């Protein structure tokens, strides 16, 4: 049985980049909804006790309720963790070294990541992930899919993600998704992303 994770900051803490009302609805309604529906689907399929990563890596063998709500549960859990009111720099170390080798610099990364997030048609996510060879790559997925899933084209372990469903930004930004994406860069917890990178190593 999965439970809704608590946030490490108040709903209003990310203002003006993400407003309190959006955060509250997103966490208490959307994420809670995915969590409840995932639990119901797992119970119905006698699949309780598996880790969410294990379920998603083999998602092709499960039904759409598990794909959609398992993705929704995992994706939002990661999303809250990589956000912070105290935006910080990429800490020096192995992750920063690989990041610079891959993208040259932060501005160039932002260009690639923004493009993936802005051009995702309809609802979905953009990701920074680590592939099986330990390389970093940017991708985007539809709906609540993510790179862990064996049904998406580019597989890896996501370490940073942005939710580009309208429910993530519409109250404050309406149709201006690019403005929301720019705001997101101000509240990334790069220390956490670097930790996620370290944990992604086999
Ligand atoms: Mn969402």
Does 4 map to a domain?
no
Centre of ligand 1 to C-alpha 25, Å, is: 10
Does 85 map to a domain?
yes
| pLDDT score, position 202 | 67
Q: What is the pLDDT confidence band of residue 67, given thresholds at 50, 70 and 90?
A: very high
Does 11 map to a domain?
no
Enter the pTM of the model. Answer: 0.97
Does 191 map to a domain?
yes
| Dihedrals phi, psi of 180, to nearest 5 degrees | -65, -40
Task: Write out pLDDT tens, residues 5-23.
Answer: 999 999 999 999 999 999 9
Task: Give yes or no for a contact between 190 and 88, defined as CB atoms under 8 angstroms apart.
Answer: yes
Does 189 map to a domain?
yes
Does 48 map to a domain?
yes
Range of the domain at 190: 19-202
Centre of ligand 1 to C-alpha 13, Å, is: 18
Task: Write out pLDDT tens, residues 177-192.
Answer: 999 999 999 999 999 9
Residue 112 maps to which CATH number?
3.55.40.20
Centre of ligand 1 to C-alpha 161, Å, is: 11
Total structural domains in the chain? 1
Centre of ligand 1 to C-alpha 47, Å, is: 24
Centre of ligand 1 to C-alpha 123, Å, is: 9
Centre of ligand 1 to C-alpha 183, Å, is: 16
Task: Say what angle helices 64-81 and 190-200 make with each other, to 10 degrees.
Answer: 130
Centre of ligand 1 to C-alpha 34, Å, is: 9
Centre of ligand 1 to C-alpha 53, Å, is: 19
Does 120 map to a domain?
yes
């Amino acid at each position: 049985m999965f439970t809704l994770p608590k946030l490490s900051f108040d709903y209003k803490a990310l203002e003006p980049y993400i407003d309190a009302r959006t955060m509250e609805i997103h966490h208490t309604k959307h994420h809670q909804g995915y969590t409840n529906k995932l639990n119901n689907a797992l119970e119905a399929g006698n699949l309780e006790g598996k880790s969410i990563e294990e379920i998603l890596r083999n998602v092709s063998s499960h039904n759409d309720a598990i794909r959609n709500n398992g993705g929704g549960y995992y994706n939002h859990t990661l999303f809250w963790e990589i956000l912070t009111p105290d935006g910080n720099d990429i800490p020096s170390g192995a992750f920063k070294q690989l990041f610079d080798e891959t993208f040259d610099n932060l501005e160039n990364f932002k260009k690639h990541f923004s493009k993936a997030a802005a051009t995702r048609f309809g609802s979905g996510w953009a990701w920074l992930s680590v592939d099986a060879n330990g390389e970093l790559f940017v991708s985007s997925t539809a709906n609540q899919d993510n790179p862990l899933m064996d049904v998406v084209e580019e597989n890896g372990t996501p370490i940073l993600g942005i939710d580009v469903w309208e429910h993530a930004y519409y109250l404050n930004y309406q149709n201006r998704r690019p403005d929301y994406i720019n705001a997101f860069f101000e509240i990334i917890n790069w220390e956490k992303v670097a930790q996620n990178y370290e944990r992604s190593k086999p």
